[in-house]
Structure 1
Amino acid sequence: MKITCIVVLMSAFDFVYSISRGKHYVKEKVCQEYAMLGKEKFKAIGMVLYSQKFSTGTFEEVNAVTDEMVKLAETCCTENSSADCYDTGATAMSEMSCSKDSPFPKHPGIASCCKEDGLERKLCLAALRVTSEELPSLQESTNEEICQKFKEDPKEYSLRYFYEFSRRHGSIPAGLILNATDSYLRMVGTCCSLSESTICFLRERLQLKDSNHFLRLTSNLCHNQAHLPYFKIGLTAYYGHILNDSLEDILPITTHLQEGLSKCCLNPNPECLITELMQVKTVLCNDTSLSGKYRKLHDCCSKPPLDVLSCVETSESESPPQQTEIKKPTDTDLCKEGSATVLDKYFFEIGRKHNHLTLPVLASVFADIGDYIHKGSACKLIKKSPLEKIETFVSKTDGLCQQYKKLDFTVFKERLVKSVQEEMPDASKTVVDTKAKQWVEFTSTCCSRKAPALRCRKLIDLIVGDTRDD
């Protein structure tokens, strides 16, 4: 599918709410694409875009708003349509979004937009993008079940797959989603038409393995970039323990990556993100101070550009973490001008020392400390510094994640309960069980490389609590 179609239609599906005087040329572009793609393909793109935009909406709600958009194009892209057909239809859609019995996706942001009038309401609705807690991975049915559902109603099966897949990857370019869903549905259509479908599915899935791996990597990076406030320094600390090098050597690499993600993740054109990720290889592998120092980086740099990051992330650190005590910033360091640099260096050393901590854990902990310190008025709150508490949490988490990866889950859970009992000797069994359950949920959720950012932040808040209350 042409990238230009995706870009134009991305603006079209938002433009339906934000259309204003002087921008009717967009209607012409939408009508050109509608005529070229046809109704079914036009709707498929709409399902992808609206499923990403409203990930908490039901299939019926997302389908309803997509159908309305298709109907608008179908009605207003005819020779006999009136000059104001598109504008009138867009206004009707915004009014329908705000009606009490609206069939469209519902969430708190819409209520706020509906307090506005006219163009302001349309602009507000166009800017909406739901931030939801991570959805579980899409569980694929057996080959037989897939083919049964597909043969019963190919169109319905395809639309539901667009919906379920897209809402789970809401932070990456829509073009990547379209490529992935098209490949999957092509596989289903081909294999379900054969008598020996099992062999076909196996062959096709092997061919899609690399592209699916790349999609998971980009989805995780973009999701973290979108939802972790301290993403950049968290990423730097994370790469610090992978490459075991200095902040000065690591920072240019992670700065380049973070800026590329910030610019391209929500750009519907996937070429933007692909180009940025390819350029990371140049930045990472042309640094002789790094590539000449570590064999694993040399090996990763021999791979194709889009495989380099994945290779680096899955590599184990070649050197053991530092055992020396991390020098804490003093109150004076944190209160004087340039304290952000001091704090970043401190964060980096925490990540470099604790090599079992994931990016969401590092960034969430850094956010707790940074927000606490920077919200202090004239450093009045620094007297109750959270650094000691956070370091205790970080050290414990690092050890637990190491155990979680090595031990059988039952053994790990038993040891964890015993550890909580030793830490809280006077607590009741109910209190101990509750705390142990929190830690088990936290480690089982947040110790993996693809840990869900929003969920980990909530679990950390639950376990650590508000540092200002101590």
Structure 2
Amino acid sequence: MKRILFLLLTVHALERGREYEKDKVCKELNNFGKDDFTSLSMVLYSRKFPSGTFEQISHLVKEVVSLTEACCAEGADPDCYDNRTSALSAKSCDSDSPFPVHPGTAECCTQEGLERKLCMAALKHQPQEFPTYVEPSNDEICEAFRKDPKEFANHHLIKLAQKAPTANLEDVLPLAEDVTTILSKCCGSTSEDCMAKELPEHTVKICDNLSTKNDKFRDCCQERTPMDIFMCVYFTPATQPPELPEVALPTSKDVCGKGNTKAMDRYTFELSRRTDVPEVFLSKILEPTFKTLGECCDSKDPAVCFDAKVPQLKEELSSFIDKGHELCADYSENTFTEYKKKLTERLRAKLPDAPDTELEELVEKRSDFASKCCSINSPPLYCDAKDTVNSSRTETV
């Protein structure tokens, strides 16, 4: 845990420009080793270029690691680092550059030499363009896991179902359960490299189960290290849901019968692969839905209870999912600035009489929520605590 915190603190130091100071970069490569240095670079450049694809960021990281290895090697040409970083900044300015693009790249490319490199190093997204949230600490994650391990498994089941909707439950469920097994080991471990030791076996299972079910997973499984595979899978977006018939809520026989322990898992999986609404929305509505069904199983006549409750539950599920689509509409297809512009236009059309101050407040609230909770890897602990989806004003629009 302490090592993770140290890595994050180092990232903040690098973002202040230290990555272009050769001696410090070489020291970090030697201290971390190539694999951890590569992982750290993935974190750094994912933050620096949040709209970049995994492939673009991977290209950049490979170039950076390659030049760092070459120029930090014993006997390397003294001009190696300066020459290689100059070539890297020049490549970033090519029209067919494989690297991620920042809005300020074009301006940097009008400069030359050291000025261009310093300009590139200083690029960062302003808070108002790319809002951030405070990630839960490792202790908070473990505390939440201990409180409800099944809920953690459901989070991962939903994400995997949306990323690989053509897979079967039998392919996906063991992977979600494996995550809880790893957390149960590492949350109780004093070893700082517990996750690193568990990751290789987990990525093997991912590739065994899903590489033949989805092209994106197949490509991820071609990556060199378990960490690269894991990062690739993590950044893989939800796949367009296939055309499938509507899934029915499980019956009293499905849920209440002895030995039918996977009925809820199957419904979670089937519903998830039919929609691209982020996992935080599905988790938020499925939990009370399953609680109600469980209460029916404890009633005197479960079948009668199901008949009475299921129509209402179906309506609530449909309404909540539609609300999720509404809240996240346009977010993934636009820059944050464009998203806010379209959101303002949409809300103005629906609320023509609303005062400007009220409209601005609603836009800020909606856009803040979307920036944190409308992606497939939204932080469930954070988003679950937000009340945006339940606000009265949101209900009306």
For normalisation by structure 1, the TM-score amounts to 0.48
Is 1:327–2:155 an aligned residue pair?
no
SS of 1:405 mapped into structure 2: coil
- With over 3 angstroms needed to count, the CA separation of the structure-2 counterparts of 1:249 and 1:383, relative to structure 1, is closer
**Who is 2:269 aligned against?**
348
**Who is 1:168 aligned against?**
none
User: Structure 1 residue 334: deviation in Å?
Assistant: 7.2
User: Structure 1 residue 345: deviation in Å?
Assistant: 2.0
Q: Determine what percentage of the aligned residue pairs are the same residue.
A: 21
**Who is 2:379 aligned against?**
452
Is 1:440–2:367 an aligned residue pair?
yes
Number of aligned residue pairs: 281
Is 1:265–2:88 an aligned residue pair?
no
Question: Take 1:203 and 1:184, find their aligned partners in 2: how far apart are those partners?
Answer: 15
User: Structure 1 residue 436: deviation in Å?
Assistant: 4.5
**Who is 2:340 aligned against?**
413
Question: Take 1:284 and 1:439, find their aligned partners in 2: how far apart are those partners?
Answer: 35
User: Structure 1 residue 263: deviation in Å?
Assistant: 2.0
SS of 1:328 mapped into structure 2: coil
**Who is 1:463 aligned against?**
389
**Who is 2:198 aligned against?**
276
User: Structure 1 residue 269: deviation in Å?
Assistant: 0.5
Q: Deviations over 1:209-261 (max 9, x none)?
A: 524368899x8896656537422122112111212212111111221122112
Q: Deviations over 1:310-342 (max 9, x none)?
A: 11122345x531233432316646763367633
User: Structure 1 residue 201: deviation in Å?
Assistant: 4.5
**Who is 2:38 aligned against?**
210
**Who is 1:236 aligned against?**
157
**Who is 1:253 aligned against?**
175
Question: Take 1:233 and 1:268, find their aligned partners in 2: how far apart are those partners?
Answer: 26
Q: Are 2:203 and 2:229, in contact at CA under 8 Å, matched by a contact in 1?
A: yes
Q: Are 2:277 and 2:321, in contact at CA under 8 Å, matched by a contact in 1?
A: no
Letter in 2 for 1:456: C
Q: Are 1:174 and 1:268, in contact at CA under 8 Å, matched by a contact in 2?
A: no
In structure 2, the gaps of 5 or more residues are: 47-134, 393-397
Question: Take 1:361 and 1:221, find their aligned partners in 2: how far apart are those partners?
Answer: 22
Q: Are 2:211 and 2:217, in contact at CA under 8 Å, matched by a contact in 1?
A: yes
Question: Take 2:368 and 2:348, find their aligned partners in 1: how far apart are those partners?
Answer: 17
RMSD: 4.3
**Who is 1:227 aligned against?**
144
Question: Take 2:352 and 2:389, find their aligned partners in 1: how far apart are those partners?
Answer: 18
Letter in 2 for 1:254: A
More helix per residue: 1
Q: Are 2:136 and 2:381, in contact at CA under 8 Å, matched by a contact in 1?
A: no
- With over 3 angstroms needed to count, the CA separation of the structure-2 counterparts of 1:215 and 1:419, relative to structure 1, is closer
User: Structure 1 residue 417: deviation in Å?
Assistant: 4.0
Letter in 1 for 2:190: P
Question: Take 2:357 and 2:8, find their aligned partners in 1: how far apart are those partners?
Answer: 47
Q: Are 2:211 and 2:218, in contact at CA under 8 Å, matched by a contact in 1?
A: yes
Question: Take 2:332 and 2:344, find their aligned partners in 1: how far apart are those partners?
Answer: 17
Question: Take 1:344 and 1:427, find their aligned partners in 2: how far apart are those partners?
Answer: 43
**Who is 1:336 aligned against?**
256
Question: Take 1:285 and 1:184, find their aligned partners in 2: how far apart are those partners?
Answer: 30
SS of 1:403 mapped into structure 2: coil
For normalisation by structure 2, the TM-score amounts to 0.56
Question: Take 2:331 and 2:205, find their aligned partners in 1: how far apart are those partners?
Answer: 34
Q: Are 1:225 and 1:261, in contact at CA under 8 Å, matched by a contact in 2?
A: yes
In the alignment, which of 232, 240, 248 is matched to residue 311 of structure 1?
232
Letter in 2 for 1:453: P
Question: Take 2:156 and 2:200, find their aligned partners in 1: how far apart are those partners?
Answer: 18
Question: Take 1:412 and 1:297, find their aligned partners in 2: how far apart are those partners?
Answer: 29
Q: Are 2:153 and 2:177, in contact at CA under 8 Å, matched by a contact in 1?
A: yes
